[in-house]
A and B are shown apart, each in its own frame.
Chain A
Amino acid sequence: MYQHNRLTANNFNFFSKLANFDYVLMACILLLGFISLATMYSTDGGKILFHTKSHFTKLIVFTIMMLIFSFINIKFWFSIGYFFYVIIIGLLIWTYLFGIKSSGSQRWIDLYFINLQPSELMKICIILCLAKYFHRMKLENVNSLYAILSSLIIILLPMGLVIVQPDLGTSLLISISGLAVLWFAGINHKYFIYTMIGFLISLPFIISFLKPYQKLRVLTFLNPDRDPLGAGYQIIQSKIAVGSGGIFGKGFLKGTQSYLEFLPEKHTDFIFTLFSEEFGFIGSVFLLLIYAVIIYRIVAVGAQSRSYFAKLFCYSFAASIFVYITINMSMVLGLLPIVGSPLPIMSYGGSSMLATMTGFGIVMSAKVHSQQSIA
């Protein structure tokens, strides 16, 4: 019971917490924040306008929030796992019933001071919830029917609520985050393979259930030149922007594609396009490198953590972040059909940043309290 004694001796005072802080991760996040701010400034046409100001405010607020979260004991995050999940499910139901309708979807709830997109928060919440669910479970029980079914329900419930918004992209990302936890929790890899095969077989049926605009996106992905001024416009213009950037890029504030408004959604999903046009291949690889370091640090925090919960959370969160980045970039680079998925931190959007920063906060907390074990 040596460990136990040592634990009780550890009081986690402020300075030891500060010493345990992951400064590399912190630096990367701040650097990313700075880059995103500069890019946002460029999307505003080289002026400090609405998007830049708003993004800046959010960055400051959520970074402070992240820092506060890092000083909260990991045990706390463990304890609120289910509660948090229930709250977000509640918010999703609220969204379904009373959400703000805009351009054909109902994704937002009006919190008077801020419009919140609960589906974004669900991306982080589902990891927290499932990590807690699997924390205590014995490995042999993990593959029991009961465990699999209940964890699937935990995933499918928010997925369904998000699909009806409708927001296929986010619901997919939620399910991927959830599945990542299941994967790390040790669910038999056969199930994953079977699911994959089943998914591929049922793909034609799924497509037949898709909404017309979603079918169009798939068709456009397969052949963007089908309708270059309509459905294919986004992806063609995005590829042109990235491709024309070249090795060194067109220079900061000199991206003609974005400046002349050829780029769609340049503040949100397509922000990487603008960055890539202005900073070229070298800039893009640098950005990817920052993300890689962030992901690496998160994994490293997980590896250092004593508690299984923290490990599960960190690994799954790292995988999720990686999936977000991959999906966003693949979409922008014409490797995947267009699904709404923001680039973490870079994209404009409060809820997404709130979710990501919360995730970082919990990771940071796991780092600070890496020696904390959870009973």
Chain B
Amino acid sequence: MINSSSDNVKKLNSINRRMFITGSVKFFIMIGLISRLFFLQVKENKKYLTLSDKNRIREWKLAPVRGEFHDYFGNVIAGNFEAYQLHIIPEQVEDFRYVIYRIKDLLELSDKEFKRIIKKKNEIKSWETLIVSDNLSWKKFSKINNHLYDLNGVKPVISISRNYPFGSNFTHVIGYVSQANEQDIENNEAIKKNFVPGLKIGKVGLEKSFEKQLIGSNDIERYEVNAYGRRISQLEFQKGEKGKSLRLTVDTKVQQLSNELLKDQAGSICVMDIYTGEVIAMHSSPSFDPNLFVFGISQDDWQIIRNDPMKPLVNKTLQGNYSPGSTIKPIVALSALENGIINTNFTVNCRGHKHPLELYGQTYHCWKKQGHGFMNLRNAMKQSCDTYFYEIARKLGVDRLSETAKKFGLGKEVFGNLFNIEKKGLIPSTQWKKNALGQNWVLGETVITGIGQGYIQTTPIQLCLMTAQIANGGYKIYPKIVMDDENKVSPIDKFTPLYKNSMNIKIVQDAMFASTNEVRGTSYRSRIDDPKYQFAGKTGTAQVKKITEKDRELDLKTFQIPYEERDHALYIAYGPYKNPRYAVSILVEHGGNGSTTAAPMAKKLFKTIIDRHQLRESINYKKYLDI
């Protein structure tokens, strides 16, 4: 018993000692747990709170509403319309095969379209939106809506989409929108920020240049979602802002007229305000319908546009480098006057094809077989005598000519970097030739530069600017196409004189007047006698290919020459002559003769432009009255 009780004591001692050890261990473990809790809940609380919100809050971005384009009078030329679309989220559809075949029947989809949809479905994640159709007719849309009971998970959606009410009329001004691709997203911050699947962005033209202003911002829907991504409740709806609408300087009526005039022909028409530089119309023909691109152009339509020999995709006004032909003559004359090479009495005898100008064995013919006889500046301009201009160009030299030409806006982009497609044209000089071709300038090249052939190349918009600056009395202007463009700083050298002596400008203007309004003037037949509409201009016929002796003997009419070899017809003009306001440049590719093809268009144009002048002015006055 004593043994046993002493054993008991020992046992008790042992168990109590061990209990003490265990208790201490427990205490420290408990401290450990509490510190862990403290670490997670107090120290790292922010991190986990964010993670928890990330878990439960999901954002849905909706496509922003794009800003519109308005013409000068506020007419919408690129607007928005409600497109009826059909969306499916594959994971929300119980029986996808059934639903998709049902839709195929209802929408009468072709097998090709159907395959495309299936392909798209396999590419996206099951919770992403599959756009089955992005532009349904109202009839089909209502048909779908009537069958919704049977199409579980199909969502008819009304979405805002781009619409160009004037179709092809403005294509080369505003461009078009189409679905953003990866490159677009990568290259443009604004697109990246606002991107949602199916977002339409500007691909060319002003739609592209002003993407940042136009794009607007997304509507954002914030939802609380559960672990399975199911929306539980909407927490917030953040209304996005519509993109900024842009007012253009363009007059829709004039633009439409330009379209009509160049119908079925390749070419370009520009109209510009000679004081403000506002572009009233700017058209490149042929054009194409930008609406085709909004929902992705079909392969067939694309091939038609792409393979058109008249090249509708090229913006001839900005991208077309053409020999200016005789339309350069006002600048050649001005340059010669400015540099004191000639005066108004300087005379050259044009003796026709039998006695052409001869330099180092090369002959240079005037366009007129019989020759013009003795020509002074005014007559030479009026009748576009080539021999006269060969002579003064020879005397002037190409470097002095190019200096004047560059001053008047040739040889560089008219809109700066507004359109990234714009071409510079080319105003040659001896230095240029040395640098670019590594050859010395040849005198014969000066001679043909004098009639706008050879290396010299200009775009129609440059010719228009040049004309405008001659018309306004020789002052520098900066063309613009967007009103109130906030990006553009107003240049300081606006309205600085480009001449040395203003008389010289007057002489050139007078010569251009003669060319249009006097007998034997090249565009005499297109004149308007009414002083209200009277305009002055200069024709031009740019050779596309060198005229051989054989051609000269044949002396074919325009329609007898194959299309690609016909001359480009050009015409530059400004009016009304008494109190000039607008400058025009017209180019018809392979149109034959400037005086017969291009000049008559100017007549129609000036009628409309000047008729609308009053209206245009009144818009500005109204703006002040509103305040």
Residues in A lying within 8 Å of B, measured CB to CB: 138-139, 183-186, 237, 239-247, 256-257, 260-262, 276, 280-281, 284-285, 288, 292, 295, 299, 302-303, 308, 311-312, 315, 319, 322, 326, 329-330, 333, 335
Contacts and interface: CB of A to CB of B under 8 A. Distances in A.
B26 A239 contact: no
Contacts of B38: 281
B619 interface: no
Contacts of A288: 30, 33-34, 37
Contacts of A330: 33, 36
B43 to A, nearest CB: 9
Given A256-B55, A257-B55, 6 more contacts: A184-B18, A186-B11, A243-B45, A281-B42, A308-B15, A329-B33
Given A240-B51, A260-B56, A285 B34 contact: yes
A331 to B, nearest CB: 11
Contacts of B41: 242-243, 245-247, 276, 280-281, 284
Interface residue SS majority, chain A:
helix
A299 B25 CA distance: 14
Contact of B47 (A138, A243, A260, A295): A243
B103 interface: no
18 contacts: A139-B10, A139-B14, A183-B22, A184-B15, A240-B51, A242-B40, A243-B47, A244-B51, A247-B41, A256-B224, A260-B226, A262-B227, A280-B41, A284-B41, A319-B22, A322-B26, A330-B33, A333-B40
A184 B11 CA distance: 9
A243 B51 CA distance: 9
Nearest to B45: A246
B260 interface: no
Contacts of A329: 33
Contacts of B34: 285, 288
Interface in B3-42: 7-8, 10-12, 14-16, 18-19, 22-23, 26, 29-30, 33-34, 36-38, 40-42
B151 to A, nearest CB: 29
**What are the nearest 5 A-B pairs in CB distance?**
A243-B48, A244-B52, A260-B226, A281-B41, A186-B14
Contact of A308 (B12, B56, B224): B12
A184 B20 CA distance: 10
B44 interface: yes
Contacts of B48: 239-240, 242-244
A302 B19 contact: yes
A261 to B, nearest CB: 4
A120 B416 CA distance: 83
Contact of B19 (A243, A281, A299): A299
A243 B15 contact: no
Contacts of B40: 239, 242-243, 333
Contact of A243 (B8, B26, B33, B49): B49
B208 to A, nearest CB: 40
- Of the listed residues A260, A295, A335, the one surrounded by the most CB atoms of chain B closer than 10 A to its CB is A260
Interface in B39-71: 40-42, 44-45, 47-49, 51-52, 55-56
A180 B16 CA distance: 14
B37 A260 contact: no
Contacts of B23: 299
